[in-house]
Structure 1
């Protein structure tokens, strides 16, 4: 330590001694002054036992509550390990242990607890039934008999009276010994409760000698003359005022409710937390009592008013990546939404750019889709888990899909694409009567103005149902006209061989089906069975998959079309030039003499003709041999080129390796020179 720091350190030492003297005067007894060590700017000093107790008490109050320990209790191994760490830390305490930086003691304690907590059991999981009571014993029956409807309720009433008396005593003690504030003057008065133990009485006497001061950490503000805790603001904030108002209102409510009898207080306040209740449930099936298992407790919960209704829900669904098969529309699945589990048949869809919901036969492979189904309503943003059955003997992954509810009571209509096919039965100029596309005149009226198209690409439009046209007359006398024939207009004249089709969208009906799970009404070792899928039914009854013959691929057979001969009108023939005019050559019954006469060659002509044929045969054979030779030579040249290319690539690869090796050596050499 330098000589310049000595005066400063002496001042700090004198200030600490004066603080200790003031504290000893306020407490009415002498405080043990220990060593004061100054290291840099950190100061460690010995505290009195009373100050240490107050600090430990405040630290315990400031600690956050552990919800896991409140619900499941403290683990024995964890408690013993923490005690051992605390005992070892207390045994190892010396005078030098007071001079440690802030947080080192807690750090050691935390490390000891973590090291001893590695192999402890998870108390939040129920693993064995050995620690449970034997609920079939007579003593256990007698101990809980009065808690049911058939028991003696007078004992329970007496227990409630005793607990109520204790609660009123506690409230009275809090009212007598609690802190209060004088609203007229604004002064705060702090009360202290007196215990029977001698040590606590001495402590409270010492505190009362200090005029109500809580700890020696309080200092006097010489300017304002008021008390304040170190580290807290002098003025009370808005939040503290609100807390005080809430606490005051709560105390006033409790004081008013204490004057009422128990029945009136229950009607006004309701059941307090921790009160034992008897619930009377009507309409419970006898199977629930018969197959009740105490190892599977029954949870009693409540739902909001909107969840009591049944309707359509839309959820954003995605098939689980570990589930092997895709999901099919209208196949039953079991969904778990909130407090409910039920079986339903969803319809999958996807939203197009124009806002239309298009039905999907199967769920997408790696993408979300929309699922619409019927069931008890759940609020939006509720999570959904879907499975296909509840059997535990499945080799594959059980979770089928996950989803989240988007809307309920959804009115969006789901559409599916259809293609109607028809054939012309009567053709006029640019109008035709189309049959086999509709089944009734009502369907034709619904599709008036829709676009139709032929396979050849001619566009048209549906006009209206044909009632008295030529192609719509009944075949028998007295019969009704045939329905479902539409009159359509086209861009151009169509043929009888054309096929007319119309693309449209039809509404999809969502089945109003949901089946609640009744697993509590059957033994636990029995698997709940609901509606089966179509594939499971076919597999059980050994049915084959129905085949639509129209959906099978067939070989395309196109007959050669015969066109009528070209007929040019006489008025047009007169305007054509002579070369373009059709020549009317009459057909001869007998062929000409040139075609009918036989040609007889002379012996010399025969020899010349035979020689020409031989020369032509020799020439053809030479051309064949030359062609085969050229092909063979071409193959040899291609093989040599491939071999040369392979050698060239090998040589280039070796050259690149050598070049890269030299560049690497040069870089290493430069790096060594730069480091040196």
Structure 2
């Protein structure tokens, strides 16, 4: 630009619209489409233009609809589902532990130092995830595949697929294929982007070929500061969050749990006396599959079958957040639970809660209360409150036991004089100690205020009496003061807070302690501050008379909700009422440390108070009153009820029933009025209602209303399942909506079937909800998703001694009939990657259901006539039968066969796969044999055959059997031959046992071989050896029965040589044929070429030819000398030939040595040359 043009604005280049090219065509197409869309704003008003396209769309919609259809399965899980199990599998040093650490860091903001055992985290409002690292040995891989809901297959992208990945895939295919996702790691080792892209595509297509087209393969690009990038971990967590578990038939039919905690509760004295004694262990975990009942037998993988000594449901250590509607999950509510990895603060047991406190967060010295109140905030948590409260105790445990005693009756006798002197001190000390006991019982956070601090007031704690430990009737009697820690769950600062809500808000009796009335009034102002009861749940009891007006509305609603949430107990309604309870139901109740065995609802007395005699006039139930009874010795009276039993005449009973119906007398008139003890509603009979002129309660209407309600619930559940979405893409969903208009009958039937299943489920739930908790558990068992504690006795000590938390402990329930052992018929196929065929009766390790055991199968194939014929080896590329002895499993159960449990012996450890067809007490496998013999005496069409049988008894067994000769002559065995004493066979001294008399359809020759085909049963060995890998160190390989080849190799035994099993070569003699003689009459008629050219017989040569040549003496000497010279020449030639052969061999040996030296020198020269060329290339690249 010129200097003079600085102030002049320069013109800019105008935009020129493209008139040709791809952009112009695209814009023109878009404009045409807009015009077309404007013309056709209502596509339903126009018919289709292409019949082919319409047909294709219709078939595609039908295919999508049929793909959606499947056999509906009833989901029997009720309540919160168990955590979603994510198994991270891969070869060693591929990044499994690092991935789990990154995912735990993403979910919980906590650093995990070591991955040991299952790790449970809360990933959402209604979802928990349990991570498990899969071991590299084959036993751990099998156990992990049986419990996985999602398998993350880690693959080293720089190396490629390894056999561990394919082995795990085959294991999952056999034991129910869960969801699978591949994860590529070590991608940062690729420097070339093009090579990285090609490697990704190659591994993706190989992954698809093994699983399915479109299987998800995730990529982790690399590490930043030793961890995967947060964005990639976040994306992987999003994929995990949307995956839904697949319902697998085996898991849904059997209860099982993955133990996340293992404890040995054997007494130390027993272990001291005998270190190898059987142990008592407890296993903790979330119940999965189906409900577990108390009498269920379980199988611990790698240990054996055991009976459960006790099953207890515990509080959920990693509960879901509150059910309030919110968009996401706060960081403080992201809980986690990993006791084996040392992650988490609380460990829940049956009778205790263990608290893990970091040493740098708490100081255990007893500080002043004022200084402690100033340090409120981060340092104070549940463990700090517990330890500081224990420091404030005034009396030791022995002193408390000396001051207390056990009362076995509801009304204790009057206290002695020496005890009455200590009443005041005992009561005052007990009030202080009860506060400490309540803090121990409510250690989950019930005594914490909303700010997270502990209100250390002894009196407020003493009001919530500790006698709840003696009265274990919380779910039976709503009026008890016991605290149910599982009733309400809240969350504060990432910790679970269990609110203790008493069944009523009654205060202690005014007459129990008159000195503390003024103190109660003063302390109420302190503890009934704003939010104290709502947040703390300290369980302060209010007076039953005065508190009715003073209690606010929210307390009344809280009480109503608490009572409504508790299920009514039928046992209490039928058997729990007593006369004393009815008399004293309006009185006030109090609890004492000494009163343990107290009738329900009975009024308790304080220690220094005299017993009450209010119900002294009550009816004495122990007194037997003589009333008028029927004389059952009377025969007429016995005959009157004879027809009501099984041995009587039922026809008379039916006649009586019809007469009763005709007279209008039914069960309702006989029963009369009754009262519902639970609701208090009085139901009258129809006769009474008709007399009163009031309509009765119609059961038909109630059933209709109940059925309508259940249908609504089923419809709601169906809507929820459809609202949650499916695995279809957006385009498929649109096509599905289009196909709704023309839905086939199959789809309607499918929806109706799902609705019926959901209706049955809701009916079952409604029936079980009417029962109390104990009765429901007895009928239904512990529900899935419950955190349970299993106690098992008689466990070998090796399980405790060699326990390794890095290997999963799978506890599976055993169904009915699965405890027995028998023969199982399995459809088996040798894996295509296993190098050798399988031999009959060679031991293999079989995994069926929860068990792994070694057995010796016998292979067979089915013939056309249904006979199972034994096979010596498994066939190539096809299935065969395998019969073996072992614990029974239901049909259609997956079978996995492994011949070696070692990881370095064979390249691919999966030997065969299959499924169970049936099980039986007997094994019907036949083997074909051929019995051969030779004729020893021949008649016209009868012959005596020897060598086929060894005794006359065998001949009798095979009478009537079909036989034949090699030449094809058929025959039949008649009976054993009777050899006379003067027979030639006896004279020769031959054995006459086993000679059979047989008939043939033609005369046989002495050179014929006679054989008979027969089938015999093959005995299947009853061998079953449980694989007990959990009872030995994990670094040792389990050793079972070895195969014959392994034994021969170990003991250096050659293969036995049986001459009868060797294939013999066929030796045929050279046949010589005689010359053809042409008749003389025919010779003239033949052409000259075919006429015989032989000289005629009788014609001799000339006489000169007939004269012999006679040599003289000189000629003889010359002839002899020539013969000697020829002999010398031949001998010399032979020796020279032998010498040349020796020289040639020596020369060849020397030449071989020289060639070897030459090859070595040339090899070194090439290496040196290549080394120099490589160095030159490197210098050139630099």
Per the normalisation by structure 1, the TM-score is 0.51
Q: Deviations over 1:71-128 (max 9, x none)?
A: 6798664799x99xxxxxxxxxxxxxxxxxxxxxxxxxxxxx998744559989x9xx
Contact 1:383 1:404 in 2 (8 A): yes
2:484 aligned to 158, 162, 183, which one?
162
Whether 1:283 aligns to 2:794 is yes
Most deviating of 271-280 and 332-341: 271-280
- The CA distance in 1 between the partners of 2:758 and 2:1046, in whole Å, is 66
* Pairs within 5 Å for 1:65-144: 77=106, 117-118=234-235
Equivalent residue, structure 1, for 2:994: 484
Equivalent residue, structure 2, for 1:516: 1026
2:818 aligned to 301, 307, 321, which one?
307
Q: Deviations over 1:488-520 (max 9, x none)?
A: 112222222222111222221111111111111
Equivalent residue, structure 2, for 1:544: 1054
- The CA distance in 1 between the partners of 2:817 and 2:958, in whole Å, is 40
Contact 2:821 2:886 in 1 (8 A): yes
Contact 1:472 1:481 in 2 (8 A): no
Decide whether aligned partners of structure 1 residues 460 and 175 sit closer, same or farther in structure 2, where only a CA change above 3 A counts: same
Equivalent residue, structure 2, for 1:333: 844
- Secondary structure of 1:308's aligned partner: coil
Per the normalisation by structure 2, the TM-score is 0.30
Equivalent residue, structure 1, for 2:871: 360
- The CA distance in 2 between the partners of 1:239 and 1:404, in whole Å, is 28
- The CA distance in 2 between the partners of 1:546 and 1:123, in whole Å, is 58
Equivalent residue, structure 1, for 2:854: 343
- Secondary structure of 1:544's aligned partner: coil
- Secondary structure of 2:814's aligned partner: coil
Most deviating of 424-433 and 338-347: 424-433
Contact 2:947 2:994 in 1 (8 A): yes
- Secondary structure of 1:301's aligned partner: strand
Q: Deviations over 1:154-202 (max 9, x none)?
A: 9789699431565886794166699xxx999999xxxxxxxxxxxxxxx
- The CA distance in 1 between the partners of 2:864 and 2:874, in whole Å, is 19
Cα distance, 1:142 vs. partner?
Answer: 10
Whether 1:436 aligns to 2:947 is yes
Whether 1:253 aligns to 2:771 is yes
Cα distance, 1:397 vs. partner?
Answer: 0.8
Most deviating of 325-334 and 468-477: 468-477
Decide whether aligned partners of structure 1 residues 498 and 175 sit closer, same or farther in structure 2, where only a CA change above 3 A counts: same
- The CA distance in 2 between the partners of 1:337 and 1:171, in whole Å, is 52
Q: Deviations over 1:305-335 (max 9, x none)?
A: 2111111110111111111111111111100
Contact 1:467 1:481 in 2 (8 A): no
Cα distance, 1:438 vs. partner?
Answer: 0.9
Whether 1:394 aligns to 2:905 is yes
Decide whether aligned partners of structure 1 residues 296 and 253 sit closer, same or farther in structure 2, where only a CA change above 3 A counts: same
- The CA distance in 1 between the partners of 2:947 and 2:785, in whole Å, is 75
Whether 1:454 aligns to 2:842 is no
- The CA distance in 2 between the partners of 1:521 and 1:78, in whole Å, is 35
Decide whether aligned partners of structure 1 residues 380 and 241 sit closer, same or farther in structure 2, where only a CA change above 3 A counts: closer
Whether 1:425 aligns to 2:922 is no
Q: Deviations over 1:248-306 (max 9, x none)?
A: 6555434xx6xxxx7x8866775566766554433322212211122224322211121
Higher Cα Rg, which structure: 1
2:828 aligned to 309, 317, 321, which one?
317
Contact 1:389 1:529 in 2 (8 A): no
- Secondary structure of 1:452's aligned partner: strand
Cα distance, 1:429 vs. partner?
Answer: 2.3
Contact 1:383 1:403 in 2 (8 A): yes
Decide whether aligned partners of structure 1 residues 239 and 460 sit closer, same or farther in structure 2, where only a CA change above 3 A counts: closer
- The CA distance in 1 between the partners of 2:765 and 2:559, in whole Å, is 14
Equivalent residue, structure 1, for 2:804: 293
Equivalent residue, structure 2, for 1:499: 1009
Most deviating of 545-554 and 512-521: 545-554
Cα distance, 1:457 vs. partner?
Answer: 2.5
Most deviating of 292-301 and 456-465: 292-301
Equivalent residue, structure 1, for 2:561: 173
- Secondary structure of 1:432's aligned partner: strand
* Pairs within 5 Å for 1:529-608: 529-557=1039-1067, 601=1102
- The CA distance in 1 between the partners of 2:1050 and 2:784, in whole Å, is 54
- The CA distance in 2 between the partners of 1:66 and 1:267, in whole Å, is 20
Contact 2:846 2:897 in 1 (8 A): yes
Equivalent residue, structure 1, for 2:914: 403
Q: Deviations over 1:420-466 (max 9, x none)?
A: 11112222222211111111222211211222222222222111111
Equivalent residue, structure 2, for 1:369: 880
Decide whether aligned partners of structure 1 residues 438 and 297 sit closer, same or farther in structure 2, where only a CA change above 3 A counts: same
Cα distance, 1:412 vs. partner?
Answer: 5.4
The number of aligned residues is 416
- The CA distance in 2 between the partners of 1:432 and 1:551, in whole Å, is 29
Decide whether aligned partners of structure 1 residues 471 and 505 sit closer, same or farther in structure 2, where only a CA change above 3 A counts: farther
- The CA distance in 2 between the partners of 1:319 and 1:67, in whole Å, is 38
Contact 1:348 1:372 in 2 (8 A): yes
- Secondary structure of 2:1017's aligned partner: strand
- Secondary structure of 1:456's aligned partner: coil
Equivalent residue, structure 1, for 2:734: none
- The CA distance in 2 between the partners of 1:546 and 1:557, in whole Å, is 26
Decide whether aligned partners of structure 1 residues 378 and 269 sit closer, same or farther in structure 2, where only a CA change above 3 A counts: closer
Q: List runs of 5+ in structure 1 lacking aligned partners.
A: 1-39, 42-64, 84-112, 188-236, 562-594, 607-676
- The CA distance in 2 between the partners of 1:75 and 1:466, in whole Å, is 87
Most deviating of 243-252 and 370-379: 243-252
- The CA distance in 2 between the partners of 1:446 and 1:272, in whole Å, is 61
Contact 2:891 2:918 in 1 (8 A): yes
Which of the pair has the greater relative contact order for Cα pairs under 8 Å at 6+ separation? 2
- The CA distance in 2 between the partners of 1:548 and 1:164, in whole Å, is 75
Contact 2:883 2:923 in 1 (8 A): no
Most deviating of 268-277 and 305-314: 268-277
Decide whether aligned partners of structure 1 residues 123 and 519 sit closer, same or farther in structure 2, where only a CA change above 3 A counts: farther
Decide whether aligned partners of structure 1 residues 279 and 494 sit closer, same or farther in structure 2, where only a CA change above 3 A counts: same
- The CA distance in 2 between the partners of 1:378 and 1:146, in whole Å, is 37
- The CA distance in 2 between the partners of 1:311 and 1:558, in whole Å, is 54
CA-atom RMSD, angstroms?
5.3
Decide whether aligned partners of structure 1 residues 553 and 394 sit closer, same or farther in structure 2, where only a CA change above 3 A counts: closer
Decide whether aligned partners of structure 1 residues 334 and 496 sit closer, same or farther in structure 2, where only a CA change above 3 A counts: same
Contact 1:473 1:482 in 2 (8 A): no
Q: List runs of 5+ in structure 2 lacking aligned partners.
A: 1-40, 43-78, 87-99, 110-122, 125-229, 242-257, 259-336, 354-396, 398-436, 442-467, 473-481, 489-500, 504-557, 567-680, 682-696, 706-754, 1072-1096, 1108-1182
1:415 aligned to 926, 930, 933, which one?
926
